[in-house]
Structure 1
Amino acid sequence: GYAVNTDVRNVATALVDHDRTVESRELVDAFTASGYFRVVLRSDDPADLGRALDHGEAVAALQIPSGYAADLEAGRSPAVQLLVDGTNSNTATVAQGYAAKIVQELGARIAER
């Protein structure tokens, strides 16, 4: 028999963190600690995210806007952007699901504080 493993690990991820706060670092740490995402590029320029995806240097790109922590502290749901290379649709779909779960779990932990 054959077994199909749809587990996706260590997705090469480009990162732009415009907030640069404890909270934004906590989000990045949650992504990397999961084992599903591995930061391969950190930049201040959002255009680098697209270039990293286009050149195959990254499969995912995470952009955290300035004001992320302020939104959390005000009780608002902050927006973050995750771009995923859809060339491999299975990897893209699984990575999006992992990211959504990580954000949801972190949000729940923060809400409990």
Structure 2
Amino acid sequence: MKENIANAFNKDHKALIIYVTAGHPDMIESEKIIGSLIESGADMIELGVPFSDPTADGPVIQESSQMALKAGANLPEILKMAARIRKKYPTPLVLFSYYNVLLARGFEQTMADCA
């Protein structure tokens, strides 16, 4: 993984790092979209964990987060989806989340599940 992240920042090209609200529009479609982005050349995917009070985000991410939550997205399911994606692709995945979400689940448990 460390090598894959280093390759994403290779000085020979600009890294294409794409943010996706995980679970938007729903978990199944989100996984398909992420696979398509990787197959289309994304160097890294930033998985945004939806949060019920995304005050630090702009209106587009706020809306996509609300839609993902309404469709059933949650951290455990997002981590399962990330594991499936990692089995198919070497592309680095970065989890982007409000601390509240990680703390509510248990920070140690969340970090163990990410490993």
Fold shared by both chains (TM-score > 0.5): no
Structure with the largest fraction of helix? 2
Provide the TM-score with structure 1 as the length reference. 0.30
Structure with the largest fraction of strand? 1
